[in-house]
A and B are shown apart, each in its own frame.
Chain A
Amino acid sequence: MSKVDKLWLWFHRMASPAYFYNIAGRLLPWIAVATIILMLVGSVGGLVYAPADYQQGDGFRIIYVHVPSAWMSMFVYMVMAVNSAIFLIWHIKLSDIVARSSAVIGASFTFLALVTGSIWGKPMWGTWWIWDARLTSELILLFLYLGYIGLRSAIDDRRVAGRAAGILALVGAINIPIIHYSVVWWNTLHQPASVSKLDNPSIELSMLIPLLSMALAFKLFYLFIVLVNSRSELLEQEKRSQWVKELVTSQ
């Protein structure tokens, strides 16, 4: 069997609900432990060991929540859009479940990014809110999430809701780059991204390590929630199938 065939086999097996349920169940404790460790490292490192910023003082430390959640808000939407595309093209139900459970988490991350940014903005910029390109695009992202969730909950039939919301997610995903690059087009108040230049980051290493560890912790946290959510959704959706009955009777 060639490598490509093996990959496809893995793909098909992951798409099978029973297999996914078991694998996810086995992975969950590990992900939880890793999340907690990384979050501890990140918050202790960020709040205690990282030096205070020479301009912003201790106020900058909110980035350890703000930046990871802002990254996640974009990332989760992309996960949602990719899963919607998989669901629309190959009709893999699991992708729809992942997309659905991602939506609420993504909206929460977006909201968190906006709130922490606003709290940070008050002492730094002297205002709670400014109509800056990045803030605005984050707000629009929140609206996109809310629209997705709204459309989903408005349609009773689950499969149809998945397809309709999937189309919406793809349309939104086409728009996200346009919104994101608005940062480049309008030269505004928000400080330019200082971490993405990986070869030569303009941020001190002792500040960067907690940040990256927090970012990873947020990713794993998201993965954890999605897996828990998907498992319960799967049980609900597949309650008439053989493997769920076996699972319930065996316990």
Chain B
Amino acid sequence: MAMLIRDLRIAFRQRAEIMLPVIFFVVVVSLFPLAISPDPAVLKTIGPGVIWVAALLSVLMSLQNLFRSDFDDGAIEQILLSPYPGALLVLARVLAQWCVTGLPLILISPLLGLLLHLDFHIIKVLFVSLLLGVPYLSMVGAIGVALTVGLRQAGALLSLLVLPLYVPVLIFGSNAVVSAAKDMSYNGQLLWLSALLVIATTLGPFVISSALKVSCSYR
């Protein structure tokens, strides 16, 4: 808990870093109408997918520095050596990261939904699907970050490692929104998102902490 508060405090001192992923999210989404067509009918059909892909990329971007500074100054070793279970501390770290980058992303998504001419009830589904899906993205992304934190050219490799693992969430998330747009049932997809989230939050921290141990062994 103390770790969570510390991480949050550090994050809030660097406001620019919090805002960057959100701005990136907005900019990427607003590129699509320019690139494809400003026609509301087209935007309605591609909207959910565009928002989901943009959310995925900005989560990935915001994660790049998740463990970087702590890895460089050795704090990660101290965390792993401390008497508290490493998985719990890692969970606190990812949670803090989610609060400062994932949550603003989710909160701003209804606005982007409006920009892409999505109806109100569709935006609601989009909001819920992001609420369930983005924590999964953070958790699974953190595994990739933990594995590559010691490498010099981590960026491209990180996307290669993590993006394939994001596929199920991307499919269920955007599929839920598309189903809602067709007035079909979307509960199944949302339940799947919840199931994936439960798996990721229960198993993820253990994987992350052991991956960090591996990364620390070769600096």
Contacts and interface: CB of A to CB of B under 8 A. Distances in A.
Of listed A147, A151, A175, residue having the most chain B CB within 10 A = A147
A144 B164 contact: yes
Contacts of A174: 199, 203
Given A154-B157, A168-B147, A147 B164 contact: yes
Interface in B54-81: none
A182 interface: yes
If over half of A's interface residues share one DSSP class (helix, strand or loop), that class is named, otherwise mixed; here it is helix
Contacts of A121: none
A174 B148 CA distance: 20
Interface stretch (A8-16, A157-165, A233-241): A157-165
B143 A171 contact: yes
B211 A154 contact: no
Contacts of A155: 150-151, 218
B215 interface: yes
A182 B165 contact: no
Nearest to B156: A150
Contacts, number: 62
B40 to A, nearest CB: 25
B214 A167 contact: yes
B168 A150 contact: no
Interface in A154-206: 154-157, 160, 163-164, 167-168, 170-172, 174-175, 178-179, 182
Nearest to B161: A147
**Contact-size category for B:** 20 to 34
A154 B150 CA distance: 10
A163 B161 contact: no
B164 A164 contact: no
B214 A179 contact: no
Of listed B143, B147, B215, residue having the most chain A CB within 10 A = B147
A175 B211 contact: no
Contacts of A175: 164-165, 168
B32 to A, nearest CB: 19
B136 to A, nearest CB: 12
Contacts of A144: 164
B30 interface: no
B161 A168 contact: yes
B218 A143 contact: no
Given A154-B151, A160-B217, A179-B167, A167 B211 contact: yes
A164 B211 contact: yes
B207 interface: yes
Interface residues of A, number: 24
Contacts of B20: none
Given A167-B207, A172-B165, A160 B157 contact: no
B108 interface: no
A30 B151 CA distance: 43
Contacts of B163: 143
A150 B161 CA distance: 8
A160 B211 CA distance: 10
A104 B171 CA distance: 28
A83 B190 CA distance: 34
B160 A150 contact: yes
Of listed B153, B171, B196, B199, residue having the most chain A CB within 10 A = B171
Interface string A86-129: 00000000000000000000000000000000000000000000
A140 interface: yes
Contact of B168 (A157, A167, A179): A179
A70 B71 CA distance: 41
A170 B217 CA distance: 20
Interface in B172-219: 196, 199, 203, 207, 210-211, 214-215, 217-218
Nearest to B216: A160
Contacts of B157: 147, 150-151, 154
Contacts of B214: 160, 163-164, 167
Q: Which 3 A-B pairs have the closest CB atoms?
A: A143-B164, A147-B161, A160-B218
9 contacts: A143-B164, A146-B160, A147-B157, A151-B148, A155-B150, A155-B218, A163-B217, A167-B211, A175-B164
Interface of B: 140, 143, 147-148, 150-151, 153, 157, 160-161, 163-165, 167-168, 171, 196, 199, 203, 207, 210-211, 214-215, 217-218
